[in-house]
A and B are shown apart, each in its own frame.
Chain A
Amino acid sequence: MTAPLSSPTAATTGPGPSARPGSRSAPPRPPGPAARPARGATGDRLRSLAPVLVPLAAVLGALAISTVLAVLAGATPAEAAAALWEGMVGTPYAIGSSVNVAAVLLLVATGFLVAHRAGLVNVGGEGQICLGAVGATAVGTMLPASVPAVLTLPLVLLVAALCGAAWGSIAAGLAVRRGVSEVITTLLLNFVGAAVLVLAVHEEALLRQPVTSSETLPQSAPLVEAAHLPLLGVPDSPATVAVVLALAAAAVASLVLRRTATGIRLAAVGQSRPAALRLGVPVDRLRFSALTTAGAGAGLAGGVLVASAPHVLDDGLSSGYGFSGLVVGLLARGSFTAAVGIATALGFLVSGGINLQLAAGVPASITQITESLIIIGVAGTAIWSVRRSRTRRRAAPRTALGSTATARTEVSS
């Protein structure tokens, strides 16, 4: 919070001394205009930092509000902050679980970004995660022993991705064939997907572990050993190779979108369907595959979730990862590098929040509030700064812009 507060003071004190020589050398001129260039210079430096400072202020503000909420919930700010910090980066275990969460978010976000390139918004990450997890569990618990161990994990993850893709293809088919908004269909299919998961873990005929007593939990049997995601090998850390998988997926998606014909065609479809159609781009096929790919990304995330400890499927498997992944994708605004950074930040926050509940007795929902506040703050300030830069450019003196304007007309004429 301190950074933006200090900036106006710097701006107001800045021009004071530097304006003086100007007004002295030209006494008849009023001091106002003479002072302007100096303020402009200071202001420019601040403005160049604004893209960093403003979101930072938003994050700090969100944290401040969350601290107040934590205090209201009965913890001292110091306790809450310590618990949060501990849960985020305090121990190798904390870091490891944060990285695991980040990997899941990045997988969902990668799929989201692919669909988004084609102009489709996939809100159905949650349902696709559920279906992917159900598929992965089915394979991971029922695989015959004759299948070689090397193939088990790839098979589990492949089926997870395929199930997620199949779930996404329902919305994709409706969007392409019938023109139904994929925002609506993917969103509503979330509820159906969650219900499928609940049904699967409650029905013994499906995936529920054998009921031996009244205390048997409604969850699946654990996945076979070979289907467990290997750990990264960092001591005391639960970090799995999921993060490698997620980074690889993001890298491949980024390369495909930027450097291949398919990627460029997807962008053309996303920006102008009529033009893409006119140019012979298979618009329907690309839109269908893009949304299906988004489903595959989220489904893979579901598979990663069940293939990580405790290796069972229960009905609380995806606690909002689908929506958090969507947020990562939206905030990244098309950039995979940004997606990696944002997924990491959110991953650490989510995992810190779990510890907040465990250690400080503060409800974990406070971290969800924090997360939401940060998102609102960052997105809001992004909109604000875009608007501000527009009005500033409009208000800027004409002479400064005259040269660029003439340059433009020369080019265009």
Chain B
Amino acid sequence: MSTTHPPADAGAPGALPGSRTSITTVPALALHAVTRVFGTHTALDSVDLEVAPGEVHCILGENGAGKSTLCNIVFGALPPTSGEVCLAGEPFAPSSPSDALAHGVAMVHQHFSLVPTLTVEENLLLGRGRARLRPDRRGLVVRLAEIEETLGLHVDPRARVGTLSVGARQRVEIVKALLDRPRLLLLDEPTGVLGPDEIDGLLATCRRVAAAGTAVVLITHKLAEVMRVGDRATVLRAGRVVGTGPLAREHGGGRSVPAPSGPTGSEPSWRDEELLEAGDLVGLMVGRDVSSLDPLLAASVGVTRTRAAGAAPAHVARRTAVPDDTTPPVLAVHGLVVETPDGARRVDGVDLEVRPGEIVGIAGVEGNGQSELVAALSGALRPAAGTVRLDGQDVTRARPARRTALGLGVVPEDRHHEAVVAGLSVTTNLLLARLHRFRRFGLLDRRAMRAAAAELARRFDVRAASLDAPVSALSGGNQQKAVLARELSLEPLRCVVAAQPTRGLDLGAVDDVVAHLRATADAGVGVLVVSSELSELLVLCDHVHVAYRGALSAPVPTDAPDARERVAHLMTGAAA
């Protein structure tokens, strides 16, 4: 492995007697007035940031706040428009990710970059060992043992990546990033695809890596993780730093791994700064007072800390009339099986019922068949077996247009590819499914279309500079509101299937989406919500199924006091 060692050996555990003294003086990473402009959009606006060695620095912000841009600049994938990046005090302008790697900066991307058909060992050896003909397998074994000893990260080098669980794959990614003893480890939204237990493991790893002297930058929009693992946090909003500072230690024992000396060594310098609490962070992220948010939602993200588990108060506050079991279901799925072309069962015998006025949730780590289930319900995929009944009518093999005519609204998971036609105008997108109503002498009555679109936009609070502008010019939240406007204004509307309806939205927009779905259910429409955000499901739904390996668990009522624990437990694949 000696060939792959970067010059930056200072970050290696046990090899830094000299660098220990410099921790408080020289930050591992410093950004000075870094600006990045894309066209007319300023993604990063004069951002200053300092990350000390041995600390876990969380960068928070809603989608589009500039977190990923910042990551890409430090990792060499994008050059800054202006400003300076310093690595351990030296000016640092990586020309490419490989250049950044050579300087001791490693990054774990949100989406894995592993080859599933290769073994872990082969994946780890990929792209290295250019100095010799044969890859350095012995060196790798030594280094893996080292990593396991110091960081407790175990990977099986002989396992084929395709057979590993998501959490194990991410471990491989992290090990891959750590092989070269980086000075700085960037983690971009690492918890998005993980279950609760795997998230715990990841956060513990973060602490250990930081304890070994590496600076860890954790990019996320999940507050709970930040409060558990972070030493400091910087909040970005619309490309600007709106707040930074050390985090209040919410629960002293919350640090999953006691850090020997790394992070605590530099703590004294923070004493005079104000500590940030979870509530402060939400306020900074959203840019408005927390009290203006839906109280249930605010509670679910841990801002007010009124309800740690369950959603009993929410239920009482929300539902006026919960349908009883005798009401015929508006959406009934029986024994549904969806197979991939090569015969793998992605949805394996799903039974599901949604009654009018009821909100049913499907929780689960992504990739457990939820996408395929929604695709089968919306008519994009043809199931191999089973039936789907909408209001008593068999629509198992019906075209999307017929389902729509029968009153099925679908909010697709992939907004950019499935929900909207990004290049067409907002008006067109809102009315695409009902263009036939605007025909006049064979041509479209554009004035009537504009009026109808304006009315929809007003009702659903879609904010656009112009309804004739392409939908891609809208923010994610407004795009999603436009999709909701289109789907929830169907006539008739009997049932709504919403897949990941809040993904990538800021809290304000999440609030709107939740309110719309709730209002729809109150109007007697059956609502099925598929989401990986457990907190939202617990707040929103009457009961929650958990998807695991293509099958659904029995429903868990969200008003049960231990609902959160039961659902989280089911997400790991255990029986209830």
Contact = CB atoms under 8 A, between A and B. Distances in A.
Contacts of A412: 463, 474-475, 477-478
Contacts of A408: 40-41
A281 interface: yes
Contact of B421 (A272, A282, A393): A272
Contacts of A255: 443
B400 A280 contact: yes
Interface stretch (B175-183, B363-371, B428-436, B526-534): B428-436
Contact of A271 (B46, B423, B464, B477): B423
B37 A398 contact: yes
B442 A393 contact: no
Nearest to B401: A280
Given A404-B40, A405-B42, A278 B419 contact: yes
Interface stretch (A32-40, A215-223, A259-267, A360-368): A259-267
Interface in B26-48: 35, 37-42, 45-46
A393 B37 contact: yes
A2 interface: no
Interface string B377-420: 01010000000000000000001110010000010101001111
Contact of B444 (A261, A272, A398): A261
Given A278-B412, A398-B45, A272 B400 contact: no
A280 B38 contact: no
A393 B42 contact: no
A260 B39 CA distance: 33
A393 B39 contact: yes
A352 to B, nearest CB: 38
Interface string A389-413: 0100111101001101100110111
Contact of A401 (B42, B420, B422, B463): B42
Interface string A164-180: 00000000000000000
A271 B422 CA distance: 8
A393 to B, nearest CB: 5
Interface in A222-276: 255, 259-261, 264-265, 267-268, 271-272, 274-276
> By CB atoms of chain A within 10 A, which of B40, B380, B399, B423 has the most?
B40
B424 interface: yes
Contacts of B424: 264, 267-268, 271
B378 A394 contact: no
B465 interface: yes
Given A264-B424, A274-B417, A405 B41 contact: yes
A403 to B, nearest CB: 10
A271 B238 CA distance: 29
A184 interface: no
Interface in B435-484: 435-436, 438-439, 442-444, 446, 463-465, 474-475, 477-478
A408 B41 CA distance: 8
A268 B477 CA distance: 22
Contact of A395 (B81, B404, B423): B81
A282 B436 CA distance: 13
A259 B422 CA distance: 19
A393 B433 contact: no
A275 B418 CA distance: 4
A312 to B, nearest CB: 40
Contacts of A390: 39
B22 interface: no
B543 to A, nearest CB: 27
B42 A265 contact: no
A261 B41 contact: no
B447 to A, nearest CB: 12
B82 interface: yes
A275 B400 contact: no
Contact of A261 (B46, B423, B435): B435
Interface in A271-328: 271-272, 274-282
A154 B442 CA distance: 25
A204 B475 CA distance: 67
Given A274-B380, A277-B380, A398-B45, A265 B412 contact: no
Interface string B545-575: 0000000000000000000000000000000
A277 B400 contact: yes
Interface residues of A, number: 34
Nearest to B35: A398
Interface range, B side: 35 or more
Nearest to A269: B421
B465 A411 contact: yes
Contacts of B421: 267-268, 271-272, 275-276
Contacts of B444: 259-261, 264
A267 B435 CA distance: 13
A404 B39 CA distance: 10
A358 to B, nearest CB: 47
A278 B37 contact: no
A115 to B, nearest CB: 17
A409 B238 contact: yes
A148 to B, nearest CB: 30
A252 to B, nearest CB: 11
Given A271-B424, A280-B404, A411-B464, A394 B37 contact: yes
B60 to A, nearest CB: 17
Nearest to B464: A411
A277 B35 CA distance: 40
Nearest to A276: B421
A278 B37 CA distance: 35
Given A398-B37, A411-B464, A278 B410 contact: yes
Contacts of B477: 412
A280 B442 contact: no
B432 A396 contact: no
Contact of B420 (A275, A402, A409, A411): A275
Contacts of B401: 280-282
A256 to B, nearest CB: 9
A115 B422 CA distance: 20
Contacts of B464: 411
A117 to B, nearest CB: 12
B84 to A, nearest CB: 15
A110 to B, nearest CB: 19
B432 A264 contact: yes
Contacts of B414: 274
Nearest to B404: A280
A239 B280 CA distance: 77
Given A280-B401, A398-B81, A261 B238 contact: no
B40 A394 contact: no
Contacts of B508: 413
A278 B418 contact: yes
A203 B75 CA distance: 69
Given A261-B435, A280-B404, A401 B40 contact: yes
A268 B442 contact: no
A276 B428 CA distance: 12
A408 to B, nearest CB: 7
Given A398-B35, A408-B41, A413 B475 contact: yes
Contact of B37 (A268, A277, A280, A396): A396
A279 B428 CA distance: 12
B40 A275 contact: no
A260 B443 contact: yes
29 contacts: A259-B443, A259-B444, A259-B446, A260-B442, A260-B444, A261-B435, A261-B439, A264-B428, A264-B435, A274-B414, A275-B412, A276-B432, A280-B399, A280-B404, A280-B433, A390-B39, A393-B37, A394-B38, A394-B39, A394-B81, A396-B37, A398-B35, A398-B81, A402-B45, A405-B41, A408-B40, A412-B475, A413-B287, A413-B508
Given A260-B444, A278-B378, A278-B410, 10 more contacts: A278-B412, A279-B404, A280-B401, A280-B433, A394-B39, A394-B81, A398-B35, A401-B37, A401-B42, A405-B45
Nearest 10 interchain pairs by C-beta: A280-B401, A412-B475, A261-B435, A405-B42, A274-B418, A279-B433, A259-B443, A272-B421, A268-B421, A271-B423
